[in-house]
């Protein structure tokens, strides 16, 4: 088994979870890369790594076998393609790209080069989600699924912010869109589109509506009805001002409910950036026994679990159970949701791979 020698490209907010995951996975971080030295230096010191502002130095180092891409999504294509061309295994933050064509170009490049490639949709690694997936066959034929990401973003509905992360200046994008590429659909909504694919497979048809308040460049609500081979999915991503809703009463109200002939699975996820002390919940109601069983694990970071899974596979030289195309699937669904919302029409999902 080979050792993981990694370079991390992009040392902003999300990177701390990836550094933690790499440490959990026993990987050595040789390079940390960021355009801003101040963002990268503390990580370079902590990991005993070298800082560079030029990602090419990372991907050209023959000692590096794994590249973790945690830049804003608009840089993912350039960095991922360079790393793949250099034959590295790549773990890229979500969303994979700014559009499905770019996402597909990345996936196809990895397939052609036969390199290991993951888009890090870490919610698949929430213990309650993993356990729900394992229990899914217990439900028998699936009848209906409700999935929602209701996230507390403060009151962005009644007034447009005049400064800060959600402010849309006269020229250029809001900081939200510059960093993440969109509003609630791209931020929270992308994860639950990935979970739709994870639990039920790729949807074949959908109808969607998006709410983009006047004067903004981002949506605050995305609703959709998705048709899958396992029944309809009622989908909603919402940025809301409610501070004390949700199963932990902290405003985070993300849940999945899957109903089958033999029972129901309910997943309640916890605030994504506080995995160290907030745990998710799974409830399985078995229609045959009439019993409902609650599963509450210890708090554990899904990022750590994801990185351990990715690195174990990279060590063994296999792609493993997560397909390279995961990030493309979500980007294609986002594009179809937007098209449906613009045209007020239901659309067949035209998968290109």
Ligand X SMILES: NC(=O)c1ccc[n+]([C@@H]2O[C@H](COP(=O)([O-])OP(=O)(O)OC[C@H]3O[C@@H](n4cnc5c(N)ncnc54)[C@H](O)[C@@H]3O)[C@@H](O)[C@H]2O)c1
Enumerate binding residues for ligand X (CB under 6 A): 9-15, 33-36, 39, 55, 70-73, 75, 93-95, 122, 179-180, 272
Shortest CB 120 distance to ligand X, Å: 6
Residue nearer to ligand X on the CB measure, 9 or 49: 9
Nearest position to ligand X, beta carbon: 12
Min dist CB 201 to ligand X, Å, is: 22
Q: Please check whether residue 184 is in contact with residue 239, taking contact to mean a CB–CB distance below 8 angstroms.
A: yes
Tell me how crowded residue 294 is: count the other CB atoms within 10 A of its CB.
10
* C-alpha span between 118 and 96 (Å, rounded): 9
Closer residue to ligand X (CB): 152 or 232? 152
Q: Which residue lies nearer to ligand X by CB, 101 or 136?
A: 101
Q: How near is the Cβ of 82 to ligand X at its closest, in Å? A: 10
Strand, coil or helix: what is 176? helix
Q: Which contiguous run of DSSP H or E holds residue 85?
A: helix 76-85
3-state class (DSSP) for residue 99: coil
Shortest Å distance, C-beta 70 to ligand X? 5
Cα gap 163→346, rounded to integer Å: 37
Least spacing, CB of residue 250 vs ligand X, in Å: 16
C-alpha–C-alpha distance, residues 282 and 217, integer Å: 36
Nearer to ligand X, 21 or 260 (CB): 21
CB of 18 to ligand X, least distance (A): 9
- Decide whether 181 or 232 has the Cβ nearer to ligand X: 181
Residue number, 180 or 198, with CB nearest to ligand X: 180
Q: Residues 7, 64: contact at Cβ < 8 Å? A: yes
Task: Using the structure block, give the residue that is written with the tokens 């250029």.
Answer: 172
CA 283 – CA 257 distance, rounded (Å): 9
């Amino acid at each position: 088994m080979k050792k993981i020698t990694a370079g991390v490209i992009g040392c902003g907010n999300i990177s701390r979870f990836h550094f933690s995951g790499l440490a959990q996975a026993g990987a050595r971080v040789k390079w940390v890369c960021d355009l801003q030295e101040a963002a990268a230096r503390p990580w370079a010191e902590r990991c005993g790594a070298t800082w560079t502002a030029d990602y090419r130095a990372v991907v050209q180092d023959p000692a590096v076998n794994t590249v973790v891409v945690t830049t804003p999504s608009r840089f993912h294509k350039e960095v991922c393609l360079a790393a793949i061309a250099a034959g590295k295994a790549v773990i890229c933050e979500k969303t994979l790209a700014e559009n499905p064509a770019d996402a597909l170009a990345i996936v196809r490049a990895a397939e052609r080069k036969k390199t290991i490639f993951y888009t890090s949709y870490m919610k698949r690694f929430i213990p309650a989600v993993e356990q729900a997936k394992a229990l899914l066959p217990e439900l028998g034929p699936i009848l209906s699924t409700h999935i929602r990401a209701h996230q507390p973003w403060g009151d962005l509905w009644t007034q447009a912010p005049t400064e800060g992360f959600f402010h849309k200046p006269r020229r250029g994008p809001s900081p939200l869109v510059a960093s993440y590429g969109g509003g609630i659909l791209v931020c929270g909504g992308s994860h639950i589109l990935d979970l739709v694919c994870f639990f039920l497979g790729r949807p074949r048809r959908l109808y969607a509506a998006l709410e983009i308040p006047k004067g903004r460049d981002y949506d605050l609500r995305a609703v959709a009805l998705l048709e899958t081979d396992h029944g309809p999915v009622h989908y909603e991503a919402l940025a809301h001002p409610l501070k004390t809703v949700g199963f932990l009463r902290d405003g985070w109200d993300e849940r999945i409910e899957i109903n089958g002939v033999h029972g129901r699975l309910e997943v309640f996820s916890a605030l994504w950036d506080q995995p160290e002390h907030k745990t998710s919940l799974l409830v399985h109601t078995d229609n045959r026994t009439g019993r409902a069983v609650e599963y509450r694990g210890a708090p554990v970071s899904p990022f750590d679990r994801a990185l351990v899974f990715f690195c174990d596979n990279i060590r063994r030289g296999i792609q493993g159970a997560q397909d390279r195309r995961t990030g493309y699937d979500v980007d294609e669904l986002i594009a179809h949701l937007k098209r449906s919302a613009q045209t007020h029409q239901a659309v067949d999902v035209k998968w290109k791979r």
